[in-house]
Amino acid sequence: MECDRCKQDIKPGDEHEHLGKTLCEDCCMIALSPLKTCDPWAVHSAKNFEKSAGKNRTLTPIQSQMLKLLEEKGAMEPAQLLVELGSDLQIKDLEREFATLRHMEKVRGEKQGEKVLWRLW
Ligand SMILES: [Zn+2]
């Protein structure tokens, strides 16, 4: 009998079934507790990432620039904001940033006649 994971021989009676695979004692323990075998720093930063992915996460440079421009110059059309930013972003990228900011309730779109303006929340 051979372990499906590390390919070592398993003594008869020592094999473990896990999710349809035959594992040796060691691999079974790893499979059952994946977090414990990870680098503690990896777990640590994963937790921090979760935290920072929450509502109060810090803004990317482009996002804070967008907010600053909307604050200084008032509502404007996406295309105009793109020009004001003076970056080589595509409008699609900008819309993605806008969507993120909108989720954070920092900006919103506003219809003005035919146009849609972006403004601070
Ligand atoms: Zn194994």
- Cα 3 to chain centroid distance, Å, stands at 35
Q: Is 75:115 a contact under the CB 8 Å cutoff?
A: no
Distance 8 CA to ligand 1 centre (A): 6
Give dist(CA 41, CA 33) in Å, integer: 16
Residue in the block written with tokens 């003594």: 11
Distance 16 CA to ligand 1 centre (A): 10
Residue 110 belongs to a domain: yes
Distance 17 CA to ligand 1 centre (A): 11
Share of the chain above pLDDT 70, in %: 80
Does the structure show a pLDDT above 60 at 41?
no
CATH number at residue 91: 1.10.10.10
- CA terminus-to-terminus distance, the chain: 64
Share of the chain above pLDDT 90, in %: 54
Domain that holds residue 84: 61-120
Residue in the block written with tokens 């896990």: 18
Distance 32 CA to ligand 1 centre (A): 13
Please state the domain count of the chain: 1
pLDDT score at 48: 57
Does the structure show a pLDDT above 80 at 75?
yes
Residue 82 belongs to a domain: yes
Distance 4 CA to ligand 1 centre (A): 7
